[in-house]
Amino acid sequence: MFEWDEAKRLSTLQERGLDFIDAVAIFDGRPVIHAVAKNSEEERIVSVAVIKNKCFAVVWTWRGKVRRIICFRRARDGEEKKYHALYN
């Protein structure tokens, strides 16, 4: 189960052309890497995977039994290199 702030979803869609609804694909069993995000008061996880032949990152946290999506973006160069080093 997933949730997010709808205003954040809409601003990400407008600014980046990325929809949190599509970010859910990262959790469908495809190859993914996870890392604990730094500089946050709550534990946040950065998950990186390929969606439609491009590498993306989702920042998320657990809220009870629900994954709360915080950010959806293209993966940074270092994240993408780590992903491809592991899965290529």
State the total domains in the chain: 1
Determine how many CB atoms are found less than 10 A away from the CB of residue 38. 7
Range of the domain at 69: 2-87
pLDDT classification of 22: cutoffs 50, 70, 90 = very high
pLDDT exceeds cutoff 90 at 42: no
| Residue 86, helix vs strand vs coil | helix
pLDDT for 38? 76
Question: What's the pTM?
Answer: 0.92
What are the residues whose beta carbons fall under 8 Å from the beta carbon of 14, sequence distance 6 or more?
A: none
3-state DSSP helix/strand/coil % of the chain, to nearest 5? 35, 40, 25
Asked if pLDDT for residue 15 goes beyond 90, the answer is yes
| pLDDT tens, residue by residue, 60-83 | 999 999 999 999 999 999 999 999
End-to-end CA distance of the chain: 30
- Residues 46, 77: Cα–Cα separation, whole Å: 14
Which pLDDT band holds residue 88 (cuts at 50, 70, 90)?
confident
